[in-house]
Structures are given as structure tokens and as C-alpha cells.
């Protein structure tokens, strides 16, 4: 006999009481449920308001996902709900899946503790069989608690599926496809978990249940630590002392972003999120070139690029960085053949005053790099000259046998990503791209491979493109504008010269009343077909920076332009003798 055995009501009252329990799980649990308290032993199950609301939601919605803090008693209330369903409904197959066997057995023990302490008269179906992780009743209902595995829950119709700590189950993304089909005949699902980063099935499901997006049929329940009436500020501080920063985000604050092993810290990602802006224009036949700032005269630009095959899951990507203001002013992400990507980069480079272009030249990148050279783009990055300055000085003879661009190795890839993380963490580069922000959420540190990479099913092409750009130049810690001083010094030379690029390329000089050079299409000879170009139209007077005329935006031909290398770190002329 259970130690909590309550005398049976007389006659019809007994029937009424059983019916009442069967109609209301909360009434059943509050009146007849008993649980084990770690300090007080066996006690009556007194539920909290937030637990009551959860049970009501379980009854109201077929699919529920619970994003929760630690130590809220959610597994206990779910255990009671499982028992209620098995006792008062026929032919119910209830399956609980946990991270490992011990967790599954612990969950099941809560069910058995409640069951063993119910009054005998209240339990109408008899126990047919029992093991350490399952129980079956004569009404055809059964409860099973099992650890995760490739075949967990598969091959059987499930009435109620509960997945405990779903975000922390290894391989759950693959397992989920099979599990979801087991409830296709009308079963219910409850997913419970503290968060563990973004990009996994638990995160996707939670994000998809947003009332505005409503990408799935799940009802979301968010339970931070504050919902528990006994968890006050002193409790929170005590918990914080036991956890690191990631643990606090994961176990207490229900934060997806801060709970995973993201390579870029949460506070840095929040800074980027706050800087996101809609592009002022989107260029190209695919509208995948996003522009936030138009070219500014006197500013320097570099274009870094990560190259893909053009027809696979990866994307070719590029970033235009204004190294004068430390800002990403344009970005490309699309699927394009490597040789055509070179033509796109040239088109973009010419718009930004012959920006220096640096493609990654591994694998498919070689085709892009050689195409840039064959089309005689005047300002390409070569690794041989990297030690002198990112703004390089060379002749055609100097680079005749060199491969343009940068080769990515295991060693310098780590250096590139470290530089990107440092620049973002110190807020030394302004980034406006929502596409990049999304990639950063799923770019994680993998302790198994000991490297940072995109999560399975996600991309990191934009990240690698920007990492190359950050690797090439040092973002300013404090921006000091010496242009006026330098220009004044050079003006005293009184020298009127024709503007030349540092490698001897002569920039086209057009009609002063026409569009500025940076906004024009540039001809690369017969090899480049303008009809098949990637931009529908060049920048025009109507979409230039407000308040800037075509004449003002035109590159100014001055002695300062020609001799600016004296002040920008390029190799200095050798002294006589």
C-alpha cells in the first residue's frame, strides 16, 4: 500500500473523483501527486503557476517547444503529465527521449515515484509489466524512457513524444527527421531544453514558431530563471558564481546566441546586429551586390574575395572595405563561375577608384586570379609584396611569373580568423550586413577538429572573404585624418602631373561633365562582354551620395594623388649614395 494512500470516496463520489482526475491533469497532480524533494524527502506535488500554464499549453497545442532555464522542475511536471495520460487514456504510446541512459532512467523514476504513491482505488488500469525504463498498463497504454540513438523511437506510432534537453542531444538533427514522422498519425510533441547555440534543430524550431514568422506548427514557451517564485536575485548570483559566461547565457538567461561555441563572442555579435542597415542599392542581375556607401573621393579601398565553383552549395563572396573609415561599404554573395567572378570584381573595383583586389587563389580561386591578371586590372594583390604595404608598388615585369591573390593555408587561415575576431571585438570595423551577421551565428569552434568552421548545413563564405580583408590591413584604433596636412605640404611643390597608379597604369581621363570614373562601366577589351555584365546599370547621378555632384565625386588629379605613397607606408625612394 502506498504511504500516501487516501481513503476512497463512497459510492458515486468515487466515480466522480476518478472522472474529475481523468478530465483535468492539474487537478490530478495537485491532489494526488507526490515527488521526492532533495532535502525534505517525499512531499506533495505543489505546482507553480508557470508549471500550470505549461500543462494547459500541452493540452491546448499539439506541438510545444519549451525554451527553459535550469532547475525549474519542468521534467517533473512532464513526468506527471505522462503518467496522467497513460492512466486515464487508452492505447497511448508515450516515449521520452533523453541525452543518455542515466538521464532517461532518472526521468522515468519520477514517473514511477508518482505512480507508486497513488491511492490504489484511483488506478483503474492494472500494471501489466515494468522495467527500469518502461511500464505498461492493461488499458494498452505504456510509457518508455530511452536514451538517444540512431533508432530511438523509430518504427512505432507515438502518441506523445517528449524530448528532454533536445538541444544537447548529439546527432539530434539527423534523428529528428525519423522521430517527426512517428507522430504523423496524430501524436503530440513536447521539446524541452536549455539553449545550445544557434543553427541546430531546436533553435530552428524555436525561431520558426515565432508568431510573426510562423514557419511551423509549434507553440513556443519561454521560461527564464525569473519565472520561478523561489528564485530571487541572491539565487541568481549564487548560480552565476558556479558558471562561466557561456553557462550563464545557456542555463539561466535562455540565450541562444551566448550559449553556443560561436567563434565570435555574443557581445561582438550584438554590436554587429546593432549596426545592420538595409543597402542603399542592390546591383547585378541577381541583385546580390549590396552597397551601403558610395565611393568617396580621396578614400582608399580594398576588395577581398573568397571563390567557389559557382554551381555548388558554396558561394563566391567579396567585400569592399573603405580603409580610410574602416567600414564595409559593399558586399557580394552569389553563385557565379570563377572567371565571370573576376569580371564582377573588376567592375566593382573600378567603381571604387581602382580598389586593390585580393582573391583567395586556392582551387577555383586560381581561375579568378588569372582572369584578373589577363584582363590587366591595374591593382591586384601579390603576396610577394605583402611585407611592404597592402597598397603595393610593382611593375608588370615584377609580377610576370607570380600568381595574383593570397593562398589560404591552415596556418594563415587561423591568423585571418584571429584578426577578424580581434577587429570585430575591438569594434574597429563597421559592418552593416545582415547576411554576414547570420553566418556568424553558426560559425563555431569545433573542439574535435580544433578549428573554427560553419555548422553542418551552413556556410562561412562571407566570413572567410571578410577575414581575408581584415588580414590584409590593420584597422585603425583611432582615426587621425592627416590628409589636409599632407595635401598642403605637397601643394607647395606646385607640380601639375597626370594621375598614375603605382604600377604604371594610366587612369582614363574622360569628359569632366560625364559620370565620374568610379561610376562608369570599364572596358577590358574584347574579352569582356558588357551585354553579359553582372550589373544592370552603373551608379548614376540619381543614386550617388546625396549632395555630391558628379564633378565633386570625380577623382581629383593633384600632386597629392601622385605622391601620396610617401605618407601611406609604400616603399620610400632610396637616398642617393
Q: Do 87 and 63 share a structural domain?
A: yes
**Phi first, then psi: what are they for 466, rounded to 5°?**
-70, -35
The pLDDT, as a whole number, for residue 445 is 74
Domain enclosing residue 365, as ranges: 266-472
3-state secondary structure 484-505: HHHHHHHHCCCCCCCCECCCCC
Structural domain ending residue among the three candidates 437, 472, 507: 472
* Residue 573 counted as domain residue: no
* Residue 388 counted as domain residue: yes
Q: Do 310 and 174 share a structural domain?
A: no
What DSSP designation does 312 have? S
Task: For 201-225, give the DSSP string.
Answer: HHHHHHHHT-TTT--SSPEEEEE-G
Q: Do 382 and 464 share a structural domain?
A: yes
Cβ atoms 108, 134 nearer than 8 A: yes
* Residue 577 counted as domain residue: no
How many folded domains does the chain comprise?
3
* Residue 337 counted as domain residue: yes
Structural domain ending residue among the three candidates 256, 288, 307: 256
Structural domain ending residue among the three candidates 450, 472, 494: 472
Torsion of CA 438, 454, 534, 395, to 10 degrees: 120
* Residue 74 counted as domain residue: yes
Q: Do 68 and 36 share a structural domain?
A: yes
CATH of the domain at 372: 3.30.420.240
Q: Do 223 and 77 share a structural domain?
A: yes
Beta pairing, strands 327-334 & 316-322: antiparallel
Task: For 51-101, give the DSSP string.
Answer: HHHHHHHHHH-SEEEEEE-SSS-HHHHHHHHHHHHHHHSSS-EEEEEESSH
Q: Do 312 and 198 share a structural domain?
A: no
How far apart CA 11 and CA 17 sit, in angstroms, is: 10
Residue 412, C-beta contacts closer than 8 angstroms, at least 6 positions apart: 406, 471
* Residue 338 counted as domain residue: yes
Taking alpha carbons only, the member of 471, 454, 459 closest to residue 416 is 471
* Residue 3 counted as domain residue: no
CATH of the domain at 30: 3.40.50.300
Centre a 10 Å sphere on the Cβ of residue 205 and count the other Cβ atoms it contains.
22
Question: 439: which 3 cell numbers?
Answer: 553566418
Q: Do 228 and 94 share a structural domain?
A: yes
* Residue 306 counted as domain residue: yes
Q: Do 419 and 298 share a structural domain?
A: yes
Q: Do 133 and 154 share a structural domain?
A: yes
Q: Do 459 and 369 share a structural domain?
A: yes
Please give the average pLDDT of every successive group of 10 residues along the chain, which has 577 residues: 66 89 94 86 90 94 91 92 94 90 89 92 90 92 82 68 84 72 81 82 82 81 91 88 76 68 78 93 91 94 91 88 95 94 95 93 92 92 71 75 89 88 89 93 75 83 94 58 44 37 34 36 36 40 42 39 36 41
3-state secondary structure 438-450: HHHHCEEEECCCC
The pLDDT, as a whole number, for residue 514 is 34
How far apart CA 314 and CA 338 sit, in angstroms, is: 12
Q: Do 53 and 195 share a structural domain?
A: yes
Q: Do 440 and 302 share a structural domain?
A: yes
Amino acid at each position: 500500500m502506498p504511504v500516501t494512500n487516501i481513503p476512497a470516496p463512497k459510492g458515486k463520489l468515487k466515480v466522480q473523483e476518478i472522472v474529475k482526475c481523468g478530465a483535468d491533469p492539474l487537478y490530478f497532480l495537485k491532489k494526488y501527486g507526490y515527488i521526492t524533494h532533495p532535502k525534505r524527502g517525499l512531499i506533495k506535488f505543489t505546482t507553480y503557476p508557470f508549471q500550470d500554464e505549461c500543462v494547459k499549453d500541452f493540452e491546448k497545442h499539439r506541438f510545444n517547444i519549451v525554451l527553459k532555464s535550469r532547475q525549474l522542475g519542468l521534467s517533473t511536471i512532464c513526468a506527471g503529465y505522462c503518467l496522467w495520460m497513460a492512466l486515464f487514456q487508452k492505447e497511448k504510446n508515450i516515449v521520452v527521449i533523453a541525452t543518455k541512459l542515466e538521464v532517461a532512467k532518472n526521468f522515468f523514476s519520477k514517473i514511477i515515484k508518482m505512480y507508486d504513491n497513488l491511492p490504489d482505488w484511483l488506478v483503474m488500469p492494472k500494471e501489466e509489466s515494468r522495467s527500469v525504463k518502461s511500464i505498461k498498463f492493461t488499458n494498452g497504454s505504456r510509457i518508455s524512457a530511452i536514451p538517444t540513438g540512431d533508432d530511438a523511437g523509430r518504427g512505432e506510432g507515438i502518441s506523445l513524444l517528449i524530448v528532454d534537453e533536445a538541444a544537447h542531444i548529439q546527432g539530434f538533427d539527423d534523428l529528428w527527421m525519423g522521430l517527426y514522422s512517428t507522430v504523423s498519425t496524430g501524436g503530440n510533441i513536447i521539446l524541452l531544453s536549455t539553449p545550445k547555440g544557434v543553427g541546430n534543430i531546436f533553435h530552428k524550431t524555436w525561431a520558426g514558431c515565432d508568431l510573426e514568422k510562423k514557419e511551423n506548427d509549434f507553440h513556443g514557451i519561454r521560461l527564464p530563471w525569473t519565472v520561478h517564485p523561489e528564485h530571487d536575485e541572491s539565487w541568481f548570483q549564487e548560480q552565476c558564481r558556479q558558471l562561466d559566461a557561456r553557462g550563464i547565457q545557456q542555463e539561466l538567461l535562455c540565450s541562444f546566441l551566448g550559449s553556443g561555441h560561436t567563434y565570435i563572442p555574443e557581445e561582438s555579435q550584438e554590436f554587429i546586429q546593432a549596426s545592420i542597415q538595409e543597402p542603399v542599392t542592390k546591383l547585378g542581375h541577381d541583385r546580390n551586390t549590396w552597397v551601403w556607401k558610395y565611393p568617396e573621393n580621396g578614400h582608399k579601398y580594398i576588395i577581398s574575395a573568397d571563390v567557389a565553383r559557382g554551381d555548388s552549395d558554396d558561394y563566391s563572396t567579396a567585400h569592399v572595405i573603405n580603409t580610410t573609415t574602416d567600414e564595409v561599404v559593399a558586399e557580394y554573395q552569389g553563385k557565379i563561375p570563377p572567371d565571370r567572378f573576376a569580371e564582377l570584381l573588376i567592375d566593382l573595383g573600378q567603381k571604387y577608384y581602382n580598389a586593390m583586389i585580393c582573391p583567395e587563389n586556392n582551387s577555383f580561386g586560381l581561375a579568378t586570379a588569372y582572369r584578373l591578371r589577363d584582363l590587366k586590372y591595374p591593382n591586384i594583390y601579390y603576396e610577394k609584396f605583402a611585407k611592404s604595404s597592402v597598397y603595393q608598388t610593382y611593375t608588370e615585369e615584377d609580377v610576370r611569373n607570380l600568381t595574383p591573390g593570397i593562398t589560404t593555408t591552415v596556418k594563415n587561415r587561423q591568423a585571418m580568423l584571429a584578426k577578424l575576431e580581434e577587429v570585430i571585438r575591438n569594434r574597429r570595423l563597421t559592418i552593416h550586413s545582415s547576411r554576414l551577421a547570420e553566418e556568424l551565428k553558426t560559425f563555431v569552434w569545433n573542439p574535435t577538429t580544433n578549428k573554427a568552421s560553419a555548422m553542418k548545413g551552413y556556410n562561412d563564405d562571407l566570413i572567410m572573404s571578410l577575414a581575408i580583408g581584415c588580414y590584409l590591413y590593420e584597422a585603425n584604433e583611432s582615426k587621425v585624418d592627416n590628409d589636409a596636412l599632407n595635401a598642403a605640404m605637397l601643394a607647395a611643390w606646385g607640380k601639375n602631373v597626370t594621375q598614375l597608379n603605382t604600377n604604371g597604369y594610366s587612369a582614363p581621363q574622360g569628359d569632366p561633365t560625364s559620370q565620374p570614373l568610379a561610376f562608369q562601366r570599364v572596358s577590358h577589351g574584347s574579352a569582356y562582354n558588357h551585354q553579359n555584365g553582372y550589373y544592370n546599370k552603373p551608379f548614376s547621378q540619381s543614386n550617388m551620395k546625396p549632395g555630391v555632384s558628379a564633378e565633386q565625386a570625380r577623382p581629383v588629379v593633384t600632386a597629392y594623388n601622385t605622391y601620396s605613397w610617401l605618407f601611406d607606408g609604400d616603399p620610400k625612394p632610396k637616398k642617393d649614395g
